[in-house]
Amino acid sequence: MSDVVRWAAFSCALVPVVLLMCGQSFGGAVGSAAGLVALTCVCHALLRQSERTAARVAADRTAPHRGRHGRTGAGTHRGARHPGTGHPLD
């Protein structure tokens, strides 16, 4: 993504220069540059949001949800002995 943003920033600087060389007024070139900067900022924000969403989806696929209290399985009680498990309580 950083390469895309660098090229967009380069374009935001280059387009007004080209417009001035082609005879466009200074105000028109500045207005075009401002529009390109705004568009670049919006695109950058959307790219970051999509990357975060993709990372979140990938993380959800790899790590299963462990439940409300983080237990690894049904009936697991962190190694404590309970009556009726077949082990005497000493």
State the chain's mean pLDDT as an integer.
Answer: 79
Tell me the C-alpha to C-alpha distance, in Å, between residue 86 and each of 74, 81, 82, 83, 89: 18, 9, 9, 8, 9
Q: Look at residue 83 and tell me whether its pLDDT is greater than 90.
A: no
Nearest to 15 by CA among 5, 6, 24, 3: 24
pLDDT at residue 71 greater than cutoff 60: no
* Cα distances (angstroms) measured from residue 90 to each of 7, 77, 79: 72, 18, 15
Residue 74 has pLDDT above 80, yes or no: no
Confidence of residue 88 (pLDDT cuts 50, 70, 90): low
pTM: 0.57
Give residue 34's pLDDT band: very low, low, confident or very high (50, 70, 90). very high
